[in-house]
Structures are given as C-alpha cells and as structure tokens.
C-alpha cells in the first residue's frame, strides 16, 4: 500500500481466510458495505461464528465478512478463540476494541483499489512453493508464516503435523529465491532450520497488554537484513537508529 512493491501474491489454504482476500479484492464494495452496515455486538459475533461453522451455506462476501469480523473481535485475532471481553462483555476490553469501522473500511477500500496488483491463491503451502514460487521474478520476497509448532492445534483451523513442518523446512533449504519464515521459537523448529540463518524477535498482543510477550524466531535465506525485525513502526525506527549508530529523541516516536 506504500508503493514498496509492484505486485503482491497472497496464499492461504484455509478456505475462509482465502474467502476474505477474494472478497476484499473482487467484491470490495459489497464487503465494505457489510462492514459499515453491520452492528458490532454479541448477536453479530454469534452469527459470524455460525457462518464459519458451516461456510458451505453462505456466499463469498458473507464468509469473507465473518472471517474479518472474528479476526477483529476475537482474542489475538484468532478465528477459533473467544471474543475480546468475554461473552458477558465484562472485561476491560470489549469486542469493538480493535474494530474502528471507518478506518477498517478505508483499508479494505484501498485493497480494492490496488486489486490489479494483488493475486490471491488458496493452495496448499507445499504446492504453492513447488509450483508458484519458482515462477516469481528474481527480485521478490517469499514470506512464509506456517502454523505454530507448539500450540498450532489451539490457534489455527488448519494446523500442521510434524512432517508438514519438516516438508516446509526442506522447501526453504532448497529455495533459490529470497525467503523468510516466522515461527514460535522451540527446539523442534530450531532443529529443522539449523542450516538457515535466524534472528529472534518479540510479539506483543494488542488486547492483552499485561500478558508476557511471545518469543518468535525468523529464519531467512538468500536475503540480507539491514536491521533486526520490529513488530511496530516505532520499534522499526528505534531499531534503524541503533543499527546506524544514531541517537533519536523520544519525540520522534510520539505519533506512531
């Protein structure tokens, strides 16, 4: 959206996530209209859960919206998680804590405006890496975000078995294009990617500010990192400053 690349390819094997991206790029106006016209309350939340429980009974925009709604109103954006604030909505954070209708509608509208520069696939990751990724131009970046190894079954609708993680690691080792992979930092994943360069970073949960940060690891190949990864624009600026040996005033970060 900031003009860094000419084209983006998005692949997700989960049909409901794929439906969101298809709706956002192909039926943008319908999706935005649904976002603007749908009340953000527990009745809507329950309805969207029903949609994802039986997506075969609903159309593309309905599935895409349900995915979007639950991503924005569930804890940590996890589709299978509970609602922010609990079903009684008695917590400090309510289900609309991350649901700014105007801002989110503007983002989706922007995606629609750039749809000619976005290609969406719903393939298995291995098929995508073997059949699609090799066709990319030399100047590209493949960013893989597989399900977590340790808690994948609790966080994802489509989680991996150990052999699936191993197969992805093998593809990364054989890749001749720039690629990076993000994972939970655990011994099993470290063993699979022992021949690939790595760097650690921390992930904070926007709706659980008191919760300890999660330890993540990023593996990369055929790629040079100018500075360590940062999860926010503020941290990115700070990291760049440290890398360049510069000193920045705290005021630089106040608007981010």
pLDDT exceeds 90 at position 2: no
Q: What average pLDDT does the chain have?
A: 85
pLDDT at 4: 83
135 Ramachandran zone, left/alpha/beta (phi>0; psi -120 to 50) = alpha
Local confidence band at 230 (pLDDT 50, 70, 90 cut-offs)? low
Which 3 state secondary structure label does DSSP give 59? Answer: coil
Compute φ and ψ for 195, nearest 5 degrees: -95, 5
Largest CA distance in the chain: 57
For residue 217, give both structure tokens: 């690891």
Instruction: Give, as one character, the DSSP assignment of residue 157.
Output: S
Question: Which residue's entry shows tokens 């808690």?
Answer: 151
pLDDT exceeds 60 at position 3: yes
Which 3 state secondary structure label does DSSP give 166? Answer: helix
Local confidence band at 209 (pLDDT 50, 70, 90 cut-offs)? very low
pLDDT exceeds 70 at position 210: no
Alpha helices, DSSP H only, in 129-193?
Answer: 152-155, 162-174, 187-192
Local confidence band at 213 (pLDDT 50, 70, 90 cut-offs)? low
pLDDT at 84: 96
pLDDT at 1: 62
pLDDT exceeds 60 at position 214: no
Q: In percent, how much of the chain has pLDDT > 70?
A: 79
For residue 60, give both structure tokens: 């593309």
């Amino acid at each position: 959206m900031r003009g860094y690349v000419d084209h983006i390819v998005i692949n997700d094997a989960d049909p409901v996530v794929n439906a969101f991206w298809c709706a956002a790029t192909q039926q943008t106006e319908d999706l935005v209209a649904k976002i603007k016209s749908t009340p953000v309350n527990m009745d809507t939340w329950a309805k969207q859960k029903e949609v994802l429980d039986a997506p075969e009974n609903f159309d593309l925009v309905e599935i895409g919206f349900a995915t979007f709604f639950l991503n924005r109103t569930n804890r940590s954006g996890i589709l299978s998680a509970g609602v922010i604030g609990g079903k009684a909505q008695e917590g400090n954070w309510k289900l609309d804590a991350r649901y700014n209708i105007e801002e989110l509608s503007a983002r989706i509208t922007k995606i629609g405006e750039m749809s000619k520069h976005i290609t969406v696939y719903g393939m298995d990751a291995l098929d995508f890496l073997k059949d699609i990724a090799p066709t990319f131009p030399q100047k590209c970046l493949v960013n893989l975000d597989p399900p977590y190894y340790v808690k994948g079954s609790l966080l994802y609708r489509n989680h991996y078995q150990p052999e699936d993680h191993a197969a992805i690691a093998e593809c990364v080792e054989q890749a001749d294009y720039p690629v990076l992979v993000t994972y939970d930092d655990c011994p099993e994943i470290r063993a699979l990617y022992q021949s690939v360069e790595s760097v650690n970073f921390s992930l904070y949960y926007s709706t659980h500010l008191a919760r300890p940060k999660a330890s993540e690891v990023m593996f990369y190949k055929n790629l040079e990192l100018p500075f360590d990864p940062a999860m926010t624009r503020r941290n990115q600026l700070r990291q760049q400053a440290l890398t360049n040996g510069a000193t920045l005033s705290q005021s630089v970060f106040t608007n981010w």
